[in-house]
Structure 1
Amino acid sequence: MLDIRRLHMLKTVAVRGSISAAAQSLGLSAGAVSQQLAALRNDVGVDLLRPDGRTVALTEAGRVLLVHADRVLAAVEEAECAVAAVKGTVGATATLAALPSTVARIVAPALTALGSHHPQLAVTCLVTDQAQLRELTLGTVDVVLGQRYRHLPETPPRGVELAPLLDDPLLVVTAADGTGERRPVPLRELAAHELVVPPPTTDCGQAVLHACHQAGFAPTTRYVTADIAAQLTLARAGLATALVPRTAIAPDAPGIHTAPIEGHPITRLLFAATRRTGTPDPTTSVVVEALRTAARQDPGARLPPT
């Protein structure tokens, strides 16, 4: 009978691209992973991996086995969820991956509420610029607080369930001028501004560039950074105009002026993602509900269309 742990190692190597990277994510030595994969190769009687430059790739037999491994691993998780549902109790641990821009207004209130209502649940929070959906499929994290910009294509991984939290528009941020005027700003007006924008390799950077091109201009990019604190600092100093998600800006942030985009706003959908199972897992369910409650209690929250 095939060993489930070895099947999980095979999947991890396939996703990570190398035995060393897989070993690091599994908290094992490369030698230990190689030994287990060699045992799996002996179990099936055919090579499952082949060298591919500095990495490894699945052989045809490896790809076939991985398809079945995904089904086996999903069935095991489904069984665990079903038993947990029968017990009706929230577990002791969970891991949440969240975007830095969501920590102050959503993650922190959600974790505070979880601590009050489920004190036995210890949530480890990984704050990362990436949504970590790949980590979700590997089982490294249990819940992801991620984002998708509404005018960009949606490509969620197979086996992932998305629960919409709220629509979060980008605001135009400039230095405070003392007028207090908050009129909506047509995006095309920003053609005359020097902007601070995230790198084009990020979701937000792609969304800003796409929206500007749709408005008929190429933005004048003076500064490039994904650090929202740095973006706000540059805007506060009058050095650049920033486009920042509403939930990433403290309501009482000093020295800045914020205004909505008129006509064609740039909006990200914030969502909570979990692995799709037929029976909801009580532990991940309470984490998602806490995130949903925190998101919707935020002043000015915009609920996504149903």
Structure 2
Amino acid sequence: MIDLRRLHMFRMVHQQGTVTAAAEALCLTPSAVSHHMRELARELKVPILEPQGRGIRLTPAGRLLIGHADALLARWEEAQAELESYRAGLAGPLRIAGFTTAISGLIAPTAGRLRHSHPDLLVQVRECDTAESLDLLVAGEVDLAVVEPIEGGPQPADARLEQSPLLEEPYFLLVPADHPLAREVSIRLEDAADEDWIVADPGACDHSQRVRVLCAAAGFSPRIVHAAAHWLAVWALVGNGLGVSLIPRLAEGPAGQAVVRVPVSRENMMTRRVLTCVRRGSRQNPLIDLGIRVLQEVVRDHQAMGG
């Protein structure tokens, strides 16, 4: 019999590229992972890994195995989901990961609602960028991730993960409250061509690149003067009259900051897609299904309030 835990480790070694990196992701020692890989190869009676420089690569047999491993582990997730439906109550834990603005605008309200509606359900929230969220999901460290599409991220047909659209939110132009554009109902992006710009890189998705691409489409190159690591810093810089920025709807700043969010006209409008992501086969787990349904309720309420 093949140990599914070893198949999971094998998939992590393939994903991470080295035994050491896989061991770190799995919270194990490299020697333990190496032992399990040797045992898996012994059970299968074929070599599955071979050295490649400082890393490793799959042998032809290993490449054959990885496809079956994805399918077997997905079926195991399905089995766990069905078994969970027979268990009484919803005790958890439900572990949710997401990037900063997803937590403040979506995940935190979801966790609050679940705490109120299901007092016995333990919800654990973890803030991290999309790339780390996906790694944690594959490693089994979280159950549900709220993510953005990223370069090099999983494709829709990825055998390990299942993604679903959650929200498509527009970007607004953030300007100081006393700025002439603050009085406009909506603006064209080229109206801000002569402004100093502020950009942020709040995670795996490059806000600076997004600003440059959108401004280029509007016919100008933005004069980027300030860069910040977090939206709160962008908010403060704009509020103190140091420039303008594009921000997604979910981004929020400190109360009382003298800024205005101005809608961008449809000809320039840029949106950010937000997705839910789970391990393939686990979507029907009652806990995960509940978490996604409440996330969707939060999105609907947010949109109904014009937020």
TM-score by length of 1: 0.87
Q: Which amino acid aligns with 2:105?
A: R
The equivalent of 1:294 in structure 2 is 298
Contact map agreement 1:168 1:302 (CA 8 A) in 2: no
Asked if the contact 2:235/2:253 (under 8 Å) is kept, the reply is no
| Residues in 1 aligned to 2:58 and 2:17: alpha-carbon distance in whole angstroms | 9
Instruction: State which of 253, 269, 274 in structure 2 corresponds to 1:270.
Output: 274
Matched ranges for 1:159-198 at <5 A: 159=159, 160-177=161-178, 181-198=183-200
Q: Matched residue of 1:269: which SS?
A: strand
**Which residue in 2 is equivalent to 1:133?**
134
The 8 Å contact of residues 78 and 281 in structure 2, kept in 1 or not, is answered as yes
1:268–1:302 distance in 2 versus 1, CA, 3 Å: farther
Q: Cα offset for 1:251?
A: 9.0
Structure 2 counterpart of 1:119: 119
Q: 1:39/1:290 Cα in 2 relative to 1: closer, same or farther (>3 Å)?
A: same
Q: Does 198-207 or 121-130 show the bigger shift? A: 198-207
- Structure-2 change in CA distance of 1:166 and 1:279 (3 Å): closer
For 2:107 and 2:216, the matched residues in 1 are separated by 33
The one-letter amino acid paired with 1:161 is E
> Distance in 2 between the 1:254 and 1:184 partners?
21
CA 1:192–1:154 in structure 2 vs 1: closer, same or farther (change >3 Å)?
Answer: farther
Q: Tell me the equivalent position of 2:108.
A: 108
Cα offsets for 1:15-63 (capped at 9, x unmatched): 1121111111211111111111111122223322222233222222111
Letter in 2 for 1:110: T
Aligned length: 300
Q: Is 1:214 aligned to 2:217, yes or no?
A: yes
**How much does 1:292 deviate?**
1.5
> Are 1:144 and 2:145 matched, yes or no?
yes
The answer to whether the Cα contact below 8 Å between 2:74 and 2:282 also exists between their aligned partners in 1 is no
- Aligned partner of 1:288: which letter? I
2:104 aligned counterpart, secondary structure:
helix
Q: Given the superposition, is the C-alpha separation of residues 49 and 278 from structure 1 closer, same or farther in structure 2, using an over 3 Å criterion? A: closer
Residue 271 of structure 1, CA deviation:
2.5
On the 8 A contact 2:130/2:204 being kept in 1, the answer is no
Instruction: State the 1:178 CA deviation.
Output: 7.5
Shift of 1:201: 6.5
Gaps of 5+ in 1: none
% identity of equivalent residues? 30
Moved more, 244-253 or 185-194: 244-253
Q: Check conservation: 1:96, 1:143, Cα contact below 8 A.
A: yes
**Any stretches of 5+ residues in structure 2 without a counterpart?**
none
Find the aligned partners of 1:154 and 1:61 in 2 and give their Cα distance.
24
Tell me the alpha carbon deviations over residues 252-289 of structure 1, each in whole angstroms, 9 at most, x when there is no partner.
Answer: 55211210111221111223222343871100011111
State whether residues 7 and 69 of structure 1, in contact with CA within 8 Å, keep that contact through their aligned partners in structure 2.
Answer: yes
Shift in alpha-carbon separation, 1:137–1:253, aligned structure 2, 3 A:
farther
Cα RMSD after superposing both structures: 2.7
Task: Name the SS of the counterpart of 1:284 in structure 2.
Answer: helix
The one-letter code matched in structure 2 to 1:216 is: G
The alpha-carbon distance between structure 1 residues 50 and 222, as it changes in their structure 2 partners (threshold 3 A), is farther
**Pairing 1:281–2:285 present:** yes
Classify the secondary structure of the residue corresponding to 1:247: coil
SS of residue paired to 2:296:
helix
Is 2:257 the counterpart of 1:245?
no
Deviation of 1:109 (Å): 1.3
Equivalents in 2 of 1:234, 1:250: separation in Å? 11
Indicate the residue corresponding to 1:55 in structure 2.
55
Find the aligned partners of 2:173 and 2:145 in 1 and give their Cα distance.
27
Q: 1:246 to 1:300 in 2, by over 3 A?
A: farther
Q: Greater shift after overlay, 68-77 or 128-137?
A: 128-137
Shift of residue 202 of structure 1? 2.1
